[in-house]
A and B are shown apart, each in its own frame.
Chain A
Amino acid sequence: GESVGLHLPTLSVQEGDNSIINCAYSNSASDYFIWYKQESGKGPQFIIDIRSNMDKRQGQRVTVLLNKTVKHLSLQIAATQPGDSAVYFCAENIQGAQKLVFGQGTRLTINP
């Protein structure tokens, strides 16, 4: 069945440290992956995406790494700030399907 999961449901980091949020997926036919950020009371917001023909993509303070060999996706946030507190979801597009499959989510909290 559909399976995009997260290794840790919660992550707590010190302000200024780097955060790494992990995600495992099970469908080798997935060709596109997205990380979303959801703040309390809001809809998910696009952070960064990566296609399956890449293994790394960088944005502003964020990097997504894709390891297709072990079906693993990670989101790295550099110099974590209080505004980064949110739930982060990974999502995969299974080639030929018509929808994104979302993981359970990881709650990131920032300690001052």
Chain B
Amino acid sequence: DSGVTQTPKHLITATGQRVTLRCSPRSGDLSVYWYQQSLDQGLQFLIQYYNGEERAKGNILERFSAQQFPDLHSELNLSSLELGDSALYFCASSGTGTAPYGYTFGSGTRLTVV
């Protein structure tokens, strides 16, 4: 157990729908990062939050949004889902907002859009 908790582990939904992925960072970590991993692909950075504030943005689609709550858990919202959104979505946490040293990943949410 890495200490980073992601729910749900698996999600199957239809095109056009909206889903929310949840991440609880490791205790004491203030930064949360979201990554997308498509089949046999690398990890694509989506967005980072630090202590509730958006800190960095990657190639995140406008249909996707995220937030970090006062208790530091984060949610990634994916809307108007398309088949191509099927992927593994990983959350990682670290203790500092200025550098990703000590990244710890969760076990991911596998999203399947049918």
Contact = CB atoms under 8 A, between A and B. Distances in A.
B103 interface: yes
A104 B104 contact: no
Query: Main SS of the interface on chain A?
Result: strand
A29 interface: no
Interface stretch (B14-22, B40-48, B63-71, B77-85): B40-48
Interface string B94-114: 000111110111111000000
A4 to B, nearest CB: 8
Interface residues of A, number: 22
A73 interface: no
Interface of B: 2, 4, 33, 35, 40-45, 48, 55-56, 58, 90, 92, 97-101, 103-108
15 contacts: A43-B106, A43-B108, A44-B43, A44-B90, A91-B103, A98-B97, A98-B100, A99-B56, A100-B33, A100-B45, A100-B100, A102-B45, A104-B41, A104-B42, A105-B42
